[in-house]
Structure 1
Amino acid sequence: MAGEQPRISAEVARQAAHWHMLMLDDGVSPAQQAACSRWRAAAPEHERAWQKARRVQEQLGLLPPRLAMGTLHRERRQVLKQLLTLAILAPLGYAGYRQLAPQQAFDTAVGQHQRLTLADGTVLELNTDTAVAVDFDQQQRLITLRHGEVLIDSGADAGHPWHRPLRVASAQGTLQALGTRFVVRQRDSRTQLAVYEGAVRVTPLQGPEHTLEAGQQLSFDAHGQGPLSAAREQDLQWTQGQLVVDEMPLGEFLAELGRYRPGWLRAQGDVQRLLISGAFQLRDTDAILAALPATLPVQVDYRTRYWVTVSAR
């Protein structure tokens, strides 16, 4: 067909997948970056394959934005590389290529909350600035948390001929629900899991799997390591439009409040260590800020609507 791009060979697709995954590694060296640039420039087919890999990643999200590749098991790296290679080789209009994409995607804006019920009966509640992808097939029910925080009340999957495991993928590992109600929050380099009913099996990218029971909370890295603590019901009050805290340092409080409003919100100096308690209505974050000087020795300064500083009065 006139104007159709030449096909990409299987070998070049494998090379492109290798370089693309390597460039996502946080530990990539300048020498490796230079070698990748030389490979891309060596032939037009190389650059076409590189751009195809980039488009596949943007559209399908096969890989997280950044990876610590050394922390992934060799088998998992190989599977991801094979998936990316197949997607590079597939024509852009091919139905099988489209089937690699998540079946559904949901997201919330800053300050927004959304509740929805999936086809299997699972109920999701998305907190502020959250994005998930939902991909159900014959083998599993997979929810990928791109960013933000989600409360999951697992469904019975009654409409399917057999029970499919419900799994949640984060940047640090995979969680499998064992008839449960739980919250998953994606932090910068950790996954926070709090279990309120049932149990959740945690499989980190590298490290042994373990199970959290109801009433437990864990913040874990790619090795599955992190502090274990009690899950608190008050941390679920965002589903009711409230932020509930008990003697929380003001710096941490403002960081939490900042999740629910656009812009920059910070405390300066020693006021970060002041303690604050209460139940705060998230529908009006400006009202919360305006009330701070009445209970704490602070002042709230607005450089703009989106640039707010709390400092000593």
Structure 2
Amino acid sequence: MNNTCAQKAPLPEQVVQQAIAWRICLESGNVQSADMAEYRRWRLADPMHELAWQRIENMEAAFAGVSKKNGRIAHMTLKKTDHDIQSMNRRQALKRIAGTTLGLASVSWLADKQGAWQYLNADHATTNQRQLFTLVDNSQLWLNHNSTVELNFNAHNRYIHLTRGEMQFIASANTQPVQVALQHGTLLCDSKQFFVRNEADHALVQVMQGSVKLAQANGLFTNQAIKAGELYKITVNSMQQLDNHIFDYSSWTAGLLSVRNMSINSFLAELSRYHRGFIKIAPSLNDYLVSGVFQLNDTHLILKTVARSARASVHYRTRWWAEIRS
């Protein structure tokens, strides 16, 4: 990959969050020598870390001419951004951080690289936690980590646009069908309970009670039904039924990962949705199958437990970089 392509490549959200956290830490005025050593190790641990740091520095350099007064305001704005993005009122957050040139630049940069507009335009959103929202008809809407939805949900409309991440919907009694929009199509849900994951190249839909009908964006599989107990992977051009006994995609609502005979690489891919940092596994362990029910409140303990069951161990190169090896 040439340098131009690398500079434009999207970065994992966790890496961006780490880079922003380090920037705030270094400018806090309370940095210890141990912090500086850890910061340097973090930058050297992965080329993506260095790329994220360069992007932040380039963004700030472009606005170096901002007056000291505005610079102080912008700096405080950046410190507030993480808290604001976690708040309920995304549109209010956008107004708050749009007050300075640097604030606008920050939002624009994140919007372009990480989809921050999804957070700022959302009616409900989460970052590093799952959350339950009660809608106007007393239906329950669960959002997993790093998820966003836009709603048109009232007495006349029952429309949910899942713009990012994962949701689980549990309908209240005697409610009308719900429409869920994805980039891969629209779900018409006459269902008491269902799960949806929205990825860049596909969606996952699992129905627990009732049924869901799919109308894909290109018109294929119109009114194709997904019944209770079924799990489907949906792309713009295909619809594939998956084995729903390997992984319980909705167990996160109870703070769990429930898995049976799942490849360790697939399991770690699921765990990485909750674990802050990079996980690497030795190739010799690729054939190991994971089974169990794991508490999500301690992802480091999950790593140790899985490694121990595979007769391996976890080694940390930095606090952000874990390796499982024999």
TM-score (norm 1): 0.60
| Contact 2:165–2:197 (Cα < 8 Å) also in 1 | yes
Instruction: Report the 3-state secondary structure (helix = DSSP H, G, I; strand = E; otherwise coil) of the residue aligned with 1:179.
Output: strand
Unaligned runs of 5+ in 1: 1-57, 66-100
Q: Pick from 263, 268, 282 the counterpart of residue 268 of structure 1.
A: 282
- The residue aligned with 1:178 is 190
Q: Distance in 2 between matches of 1:128 and 1:204?
A: 26
Q: Distance in 2 between matches of 1:222 and 1:303?
A: 40
The alignment status of 1:256 with 2:270, answered yes or no, reads: yes
Identity of aligned residues (%): 30
Post-superposition offset of 1:172 = 0.5
Larger Rg: 1
Q: Distance in 1 between matches of 2:151 and 2:193?
A: 17
- The residue aligned with 2:126 is 108
- The residue aligned with 2:144 is 127
| Contact 1:109–1:129 (Cα < 8 Å) also in 2 | yes
Q: Distance in 1 between matches of 2:307 and 2:242?
A: 35
> Within 5 A, what are the aligned runs for 1:1-313?
105-110=123-128, 112-136=129-153, 140-155=157-172, 163=176, 165-206=177-218, 207-209=220-222, 210-230=224-244, 234-311=248-325, 313=326
What is the identity, as a one-letter code, of the residue corresponding to 1:134? Answer: L
| Contact 2:290–2:306 (Cα < 8 Å) also in 1 | no
- Specify whether residues 259 and 121 from structure 1 end up closer, same or farther in structure 2 by C-alpha distance, changes over 3 A only: same
What is the identity, as a one-letter code, of the residue corresponding to 1:117? Answer: T
| Contact 1:177–1:199 (Cα < 8 Å) also in 2 | yes
| Contact 1:204–1:224 (Cα < 8 Å) also in 2 | no
Post-superposition offset of 1:156 = 5.1
Q: Distance in 2 between matches of 1:200 and 1:296?
A: 39
- Specify whether residues 157 and 134 from structure 1 end up closer, same or farther in structure 2 by C-alpha distance, changes over 3 A only: farther
Q: Distance in 1 between matches of 2:229 and 2:174?
A: 24
Q: Distance in 2 between matches of 1:233 and 1:294?
A: 21
- Specify whether residues 232 and 251 from structure 1 end up closer, same or farther in structure 2 by C-alpha distance, changes over 3 A only: closer
Post-superposition offset of 1:294 = 2.5
Deviations 1:172-203 (A, max 9, x none): 01101113210001123111000010111111
| Contact 2:136–2:154 (Cα < 8 Å) also in 1 | no
Instruction: Report the 3-state secondary structure (helix = DSSP H, G, I; strand = E; otherwise coil) of the residue aligned with 1:181.
Output: strand
- The residue aligned with 2:37 is none
Post-superposition offset of 1:272 = 2.2
Post-superposition offset of 1:290 = 2.2
Q: Distance in 1 between matches of 2:209 and 2:247?
A: 11
- Specify whether residues 167 and 222 from structure 1 end up closer, same or farther in structure 2 by C-alpha distance, changes over 3 A only: same
Q: Distance in 2 between matches of 1:128 and 1:260?
A: 7
- Specify whether residues 178 and 224 from structure 1 end up closer, same or farther in structure 2 by C-alpha distance, changes over 3 A only: farther
| Contact 2:194–2:206 (Cα < 8 Å) also in 1 | yes
Instruction: Report the 3-state secondary structure (helix = DSSP H, G, I; strand = E; otherwise coil) of the residue aligned with 1:223.
Output: coil
| Contact 1:215–1:232 (Cα < 8 Å) also in 2 | no
What RMSD in Å do the two structures reach over aligned CA positions? 2.7
Post-superposition offset of 1:268 = 3.0
Residues paired across the two proteins, number: 209
Instruction: Report the 3-state secondary structure (helix = DSSP H, G, I; strand = E; otherwise coil) of the residue aligned with 2:308.
Output: helix
Post-superposition offset of 1:310 = 1.7
Q: Distance in 2 between matches of 1:172 and 1:153?
A: 22
Instruction: Report the 3-state secondary structure (helix = DSSP H, G, I; strand = E; otherwise coil) of the residue aligned with 1:175.
Output: strand
- Specify whether residues 214 and 242 from structure 1 end up closer, same or farther in structure 2 by C-alpha distance, changes over 3 A only: same
Post-superposition offset of 1:236 = 2.7
Deviations 1:275-296 (A, max 9, x none): 1111111101111122334221
- Specify whether residues 173 and 200 from structure 1 end up closer, same or farther in structure 2 by C-alpha distance, changes over 3 A only: same
| Contact 1:195–1:231 (Cα < 8 Å) also in 2 | no
Unaligned runs of 5+ in 2: 1-107
Post-superposition offset of 1:140 = 2.9
Deviations 1:157-180 (A, max 9, x none): 76xxxx5x4111112011011132
| Contact 1:131–1:147 (Cα < 8 Å) also in 2 | yes
